[in-house]
Structure 1
Amino acid sequence: MSAARPAGAGSPVTLLVIAKEPVPGRVKTRLTPPFAPWEAAALAEASLADTLAAVAAAPAARRVLVLDGRPGPWLPPGFDVVPQCAGGLDERLADAFARSAGPALLIGMDTPQVTPELLTVDFADCDAYFGAAEDGGFWALGLAAPDPALLRGVPMSTAKTGAVQRARLVAAGLRVRELPPLRDVDHAADARAVAALAPGGRFAARLAQAEHAAVRR
């Protein structure tokens, strides 16, 4: 049951980013084709860099990169880096929230169009934030009082993932505030649409390079 005033009201928020090291053949495999594996990895790196830049520019008590792999030159200063746990994505997301003793907002690396303004949240009048993804998942989840049990067992990477996760929050009696829906970068069409939303970012520049190279092949 939710309390009259959320535990996280007025408290600084921990911003969590869950990500994979951008290694060819391990990230953004649905972008191949039309792009080569190394190009898909370069796009993943640019997406991650844009995401981390937005997080770095947003107010936070702490910024944590929950990483599968090793950090590289794309990592800006000011982040704590912790390894992802073993298990499915639900377990890894749950473990990421367990890293925070206070209110936290978690995002992934697939929405390079995210802005610091979208990540500036306050739990004064809610217990949770939920950002739906256009593919049926979710791009952001915020909890005033992080409870890993709210994520464990949620089926991930399906068209119903977001609906199931949001229903979990409601069933727990949490007051949920919606963040604007965003489009994840999964396929080439997603990449083009997202780049058009943030034409000045690293991702848009890297996509232009990759598309130019693909045309010349």
Structure 2
Amino acid sequence: MSARGTATGPATLLVIAKEPVPGRVKTRLTPPYTPQQAAELAEAALADTLHTVLRTAARRRVLVLDGVPGSWLPPGFDVVPQAPGGLDERIAAAFAHCADGPALLIGMDTPQLNPGLLADVGRDGHDAWFGPAADGGFWALGLADPARAGALVRGVPMSTDRTGAIQRDRLTAAGLSVGDLPVLRDVDTAADAAEAAVRCAPGSRFATTVDRLTEVVR
């Protein structure tokens, strides 16, 4: 049965992220970047994402973190640990922290995100929201009824060029109306980083870091 009409206010915004530790994050950026530089880019992307979430109307703001918080974390977030298991299991478990209304989960890989892209989530009457990534994955997944996350996410193969299509098909096959968000490009490679920086707000942490490190690696 569709949950249409149950989303009537701001969503809980979940950010799922890894602590930006060299060698553990953004390993596909090396080379040309060093592990330390890749971690700096990851930290900048995460910080920009968190500050975007702070500027967006929300029921709650939750950081679902693999690791420990650092100076990059602004006030205003509840911090909960990621569950064990594959990414599908961790995404499904993240929604368990927000059973009190609509919820939207986003990653730390799209620093070009802005509050305007999230403004209608939880308010427009859809049962679900989906943000596809240019590489075939997805950067955002929202549910009016977060209790359904397990059935809708578990078993979706992650990190493939079909992940996004399969996940969206899961939503429609369950009879949910889906609000589509714009396609964004994840930051996985140096080319991705350069493209995302161009689309970031001028002076953003990520764009500034890309500019600084580009001069270093030339």
TM-score of Structure 1 vs Structure 2, range by shorter chain: over 0.9
Contact conserved, 2:29 with 2:189, CA < 8 A, in 1? yes
Alignment partner, residue 88 of structure 1: 86
4+ long deviations beyond 6 Å = none
Contact conserved, 1:123 with 1:144, CA < 8 A, in 2? no
Q: Which is worse superposed, 198-207 or 131-140? A: 198-207
The Cα of 1:125 is off from its aligned counterpart by: 2.3
CA RMSD of aligned residues (A): 1.0
Deviations 1:174-202 (A, max 9, x none): 00011010000000000000000113210
Alignment partner, residue 162 of structure 1: 164
Contact conserved, 2:6 with 2:125, CA < 8 A, in 1? no
Contact conserved, 2:136 with 2:165, CA < 8 A, in 1? yes
Contact conserved, 2:197 with 2:210, CA < 8 A, in 1? yes
How many residue pairs get aligned? The number is: 213
TM-score w.r.t. length of structure 1: 0.96
SS of alignment partner, residue 117 of structure 2? coil
The Cα of 1:124 is off from its aligned counterpart by: 3.6
Alignment partner, residue 140 of structure 1: 140
Instruction: Choose the corresponding residue for 1:54, options 52, 61, 74.
Output: 52
Alignment partner, residue 114 of structure 2: 115
Alignment partner, residue 69 of structure 1: 67
Distance in structure 2 (CA, Å) of the matches to 1:175 and 1:212:
46
Alignment partner, residue 193 of structure 2: 191
Give the AA of the match of 1:104.
Answer: A
Give the AA of the match of 2:9.
Answer: S
Alignment partner, residue 203 of structure 2: 200
Distance in structure 2 (CA, Å) of the matches to 1:156 and 1:6:
30
Unpaired runs of 5+ residues, structure 2, are: none
Distance in structure 2 (CA, Å) of the matches to 1:183 and 1:11:
28
SS of alignment partner, residue 131 of structure 1? strand
